[in-house]
Structure 1
């Protein structure tokens, strides 16, 4: 069998090549592959067979240019190594894919300049919609979003600003709720330990500060803030350092479960009794937190629900349908376990 024809400039099999092989016009090929009902089923079968035989792959950029309708949604998340954002991303894709949309994923690494560059690159692909994480970004990136004319939904945080669409929950309120839980358990010297120091971590810190000040128990020495990437090892190191502080700390609220899990492992190694000597709490309820020794008290965050709800909101915006509420607060759940 002779090799399939190739476009001389790109080497790609083109829609015209499929049309020639099927003995129909290019417009018929386009309509048949889009699944339009007006095309005769026999022609559809012939076109599909030719496309499969030639290895034809539609060019989404060319299709978007011709139809002024893109099937891509740009999704910007801070990290792929964090299970929180993996859960969110999978929920977004699970919601958008049946509706005919693909996600273009960009990872910002919590870097404002990197996010701006990624967004510029994504917008060159003429996405039908944007999903971005949080609200902390450069003025240039905000201007790009506003000037693009592309529907945009913000993830993991909420805002009541006019014309802004968001799905998330109050990170500060969740941080305050965990601090109140530790106070209710009789803890008074409650440290807040954090790494990465991204915007949502700092909002949890503000929730902790608010409650500790209200209780008259706040002290700057109770803040343990490290800009290094979060890890189990760092959590263990932080617990060892905090446990040796004078006066003695009787509880540590870690900004995430990675650090808290590492702290519990270190406590076992060092013979520090949890929660008798020191209570340990985390945030996000990641996999394995309920299997720690003792099981970890944490805040369960609705990351998959946020991804699905945000994708549904974006679908409505892209279709020009009404959005019942521009702000969706999905809340959080305090999960008390034996570590506190």
Structure 2
């Protein structure tokens, strides 16, 4: 059967076509598209009806060249599959949308080199601002962002010397505080399990180890990590490794995220290890499920949605020539104590 052929007489609708259909000038259509807040609702509706009827698609490249503004905010995150970033992105999208900005999102796969490529790609689209994750950019990437002369917000961690603006929290201090809290619940022999081991996970681990070292409680054999991506199944495997390394003496484990912590919890149940009376478990990120499994999981809660909102708001403040109240914001965290670390 012959395939469907495109009508040779059809052509893409132009801005002039929209203007004729709405019975306004092309300049008026352009004003409606680029500055909808400056025109009446009646005019916006008339132009929108013409756009819908014609199937008109604005030429964003031409528009940005004419106005020197693209209306785009570039966002780089390490993984589109990691649910940790969902709440952050939700906050960014909410504020950007309210400000009539579009978000152009890329995945850097936890690779500084891939991030450098993606930043170059984003900058070629003339974004008005950028939101990027962390502070481990390559020198070339830092140089590109600096020379772009646009607002940049680094998120997810606090940085000593941000490129421009920064919203995050101290992963090192969070790891340190978890160790102290586990010791306070009565644990004596603490271990750590970590996966993927990006720079932020390493900071949590280093803080955890520092707290134990200060108290002469650190046993390096009980720090078990892997470059593999996190999963619930992997959490179970790493738990067995820590228990074996400790000779069964470990009584508290900090897991670098809730995936691993849930896997460790399920594996401990299969091994007939009682949580928390024999083994206390703490995760990180405080996923919704962590409060509902049995026993419920202690975890470090980070206000990720608020982080996304704050980062986007700082961008909009800069773009609208308002001075941000602070160029660096510590969004904080909370260790949410639940049944997996309850004092028996």
Q: TM above 0.5, one fold?
A: yes
| Alpha-carbon shift at residue 44 of structure 1 (Å) | 5.6
Aligned to 1:116: 116
| Alpha-carbon shift at residue 241 of structure 1 (Å) | 2.2
Tell me the distance in 1 between the aligned counterparts of 2:139 and 2:147.
12
Aligned to 1:17: 17
CA distance change for structure 1 residues 245 and 47 in 2, over 3 Å: closer, same or farther? closer
The answer to whether the aligner puts 1:238 opposite 2:238 as a matched pair is yes
Q: How many residues align?
A: 333
Aligned to 1:142: 142
After TM superposition, the structure 1 stretch with the greater mean CA deviation from structure 2, 16-25 or 312-321, is 16-25
Residues 152 and 163 in structure 2, CA contact (< 8 A), matched pair in contact too: no
CA distance change for structure 1 residues 179 and 153 in 2, over 3 Å: closer, same or farther? same
Cα deviation 1:146-173 (Å, max 9, x = unaligned):
1111110110112243763101111111
Aligned to 2:66: 66
Residues 232 and 261 in structure 1, CA contact (< 8 A), matched pair in contact too: yes
Alignment gaps of 5+ in structure 1? none
The answer to whether the aligner puts 1:203 opposite 2:203 as a matched pair is yes
Cα deviation 1:92-118 (Å, max 9, x = unaligned):
101110110111111111011111111
The answer to whether the aligner puts 1:53 opposite 2:33 as a matched pair is no
Equivalent position SS for 2:284: coil
Aligned to 2:4: none
Alignment gaps of 5+ in structure 2? 1-6
Equivalent position SS for 1:233: helix
Aligned to 1:183: 183
| Alpha-carbon shift at residue 143 of structure 1 (Å) | 0.9
| Alpha-carbon shift at residue 188 of structure 1 (Å) | 2.1
TM, length-normalised to structure 1: 0.92
Aligned to 2:76: 76
Aligned to 2:285: 284
Equivalent position SS for 1:282: strand
TM, length-normalised to structure 2: 0.91
RMSD: 2.1
Aligned to 2:215: 215
| Alpha-carbon shift at residue 138 of structure 1 (Å) | 1.1
| Alpha-carbon shift at residue 19 of structure 1 (Å) | 2.6
Aligned to 1:153: 153
Residues 63 and 70 in structure 2, CA contact (< 8 A), matched pair in contact too: yes
Residues 154 and 162 in structure 2, CA contact (< 8 A), matched pair in contact too: no
| Alpha-carbon shift at residue 39 of structure 1 (Å) | 7.8
Aligned to 1:309: 310
CA distance change for structure 1 residues 28 and 316 in 2, over 3 Å: closer, same or farther? same
CA distance change for structure 1 residues 156 and 36 in 2, over 3 Å: closer, same or farther? closer
Aligned to 2:338: 337
